[in-house]
């Protein structure tokens, strides 16, 4: 019922050999590791040591990261709560922007490599004019740039709200270099850089703008989880224990296509899950904001049809214009059913 964790949190690479030593010394035969990709990578390393030593110790991962960036899993514990809290920051930015003359509200949300929080919070709020995430490239200047779009929104509505993920726009600024204690690249502070660029731009073009910047990072991290995450976390914990007592090891738990599954950790940590710029959800987000492609020449989109032949057919009909006048066709003839089987 409280934010944070009474277990305590840590950063960095612990000595997994020492962890295995203590597990063996203390006679522990079940270890549950809670966290994101880094924590699951640590769980995999501990499991390998236990296997090499032929120790009968079950290693179980439980996905808890607000970034929702673990592969294969529909969502992680903490994501729903993060999106809900992020909306409060967006609402505050909108109030400030709409209350001022040419008001601009900028909200920086968490998401180093994945823009899920920014995308879902934008969709949920309905008050955002533009959202910038790490997976989608954009330009600041020029007629198709973000700054020009913000100017048009100010001229049209008198206010503008922009949501940025912390990992967005790293190609536009230099990071501090190196890696943090967890092995993640140290990013430049895009939120503050973006705020400075917006203020400077409107000053240069002599457009009076009242720019407000909100960074709710630790407010989001520290709040208690909502009812949806309460239920989800309870089920994850139960499934983790069931899998452990069944004798499985080196697995994590989570929703996959709305089914609770046990997944091998090595498969779940192969790469970071990120927003697909060609997905329906991202297009829904873009439609809700009305933002264009913030690039001078958008790359040609390569269509793929992974869902079904029926959907592919409907998309192809939308892509190509039908002839204005119907082409005469021969009368249909009845054909005997084929005895061959077809597979899709």
DSSP code, position 173: S
Coil, strand or helix: which one is 189? Answer: coil
Q: Is 54 exposed, middle or buried (0-12, 13-18, 19+ CB in 10 A)?
A: exposed
CB atoms under 10 Å from CB of 31, counted, come to 19
The residue from 67, 69, 215, 229 that is catalytic is 67
∠ CA 254-255-256, rounded to 5°: 115
∠ CA 60-64-68, rounded to 5°: 120
Q: From residue 89, give the alpha-carbon distance in Å to each of 35, 125, 167, 296.
A: 25, 10, 18, 31
* Structural tokens at position 182: 């967890």
Active site residue 293: no
| Separation CA 185–CA 187 (nearest Å) | 6
Q: Which stretches within the chain are classed as H helix?
A: 16-26, 37-52, 79-99, 116-125, 146-157, 190-204, 217-222, 227-245, 265-268, 280-289, 309-319
Pairing verdict, β 130-132 and 210-214? unpaired
| Separation CA 255–CA 132 (nearest Å) | 27
* Structural tokens at position 312: 């592919």
* Structural tokens at position 113: 């490599």
CB atoms under 10 Å from CB of 295, counted, come to 14
176, 193 Cβ separation under 8 angstroms:
no
**Catalytic center residues:** 67
């Amino acid at each position: 019922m409280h934010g944070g964790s009474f277990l305590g949190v840590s950063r960095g690479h612990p000595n997994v050999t020492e962890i295995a030593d203590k597990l063996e010394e203390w006679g522990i035969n079940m270890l549950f590791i809670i966290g994101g990709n880094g924590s699951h990578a640590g769980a995999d390393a501990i499991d390998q040591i236990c296997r090499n030593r032929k120790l009968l110790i079950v290693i179980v991962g439980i996905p808890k990261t607000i970034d929702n960036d673990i592969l294969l899993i529909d969502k992680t514990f903490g994501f729903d709560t993060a999106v809900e809290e992020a909306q409060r920051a967006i609402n505050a930015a909108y109030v400030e922007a709409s209350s001022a003359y040419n008001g601009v509200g900028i909200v920086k949300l968490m998401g180093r490599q994945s823009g899920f929080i920014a995308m879902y919070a934008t969709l949920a709020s309905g008050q955002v004019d533009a959202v910038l995430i790490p997976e989608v490239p954009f330009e600041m200047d020029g007629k198709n740039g973000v700054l020009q779009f913000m100017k048009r929104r100010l001229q049209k509505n008198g206010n503008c709200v922009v949501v940025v993920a912390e990992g967005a726009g790293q190609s536009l600024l230099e990071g501090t270099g190196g890696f943090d204690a967890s092995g993640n690249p140290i990013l430049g502070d895009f939120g503050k850089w973006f705020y400075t660029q917006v203020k400077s731009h409107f000053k240069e073009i002599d457009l009076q703008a009242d720019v407000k910047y909100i960074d709710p990072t630790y407010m989001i991290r520290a709040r208690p989880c909502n009812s949806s995450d309460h239920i989800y976390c309870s089920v994850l914990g139960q499934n983790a224990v069931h899998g452990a007592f069944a004798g499985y090891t080196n697995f994590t738990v989570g929703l996959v296509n709305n089914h609770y599954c046990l997944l091998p950790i090595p498969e779940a940590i192969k790469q970071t899950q990120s927003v697909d710029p060609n997905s329906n959800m991202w297009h829904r987000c873009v439609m809700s904001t009305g933002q264009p492609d913030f690039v001078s020449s958008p790359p040609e989109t390569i269509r793929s049809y992974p869902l079904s032949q029926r959907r592919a057919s409907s998309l192809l009909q939308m892509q190509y214009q039908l002839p204005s006048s119907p082409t005469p066709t021969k009368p249909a003839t009845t054909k005997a059913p084929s005895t061959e089987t077809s597979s899709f």
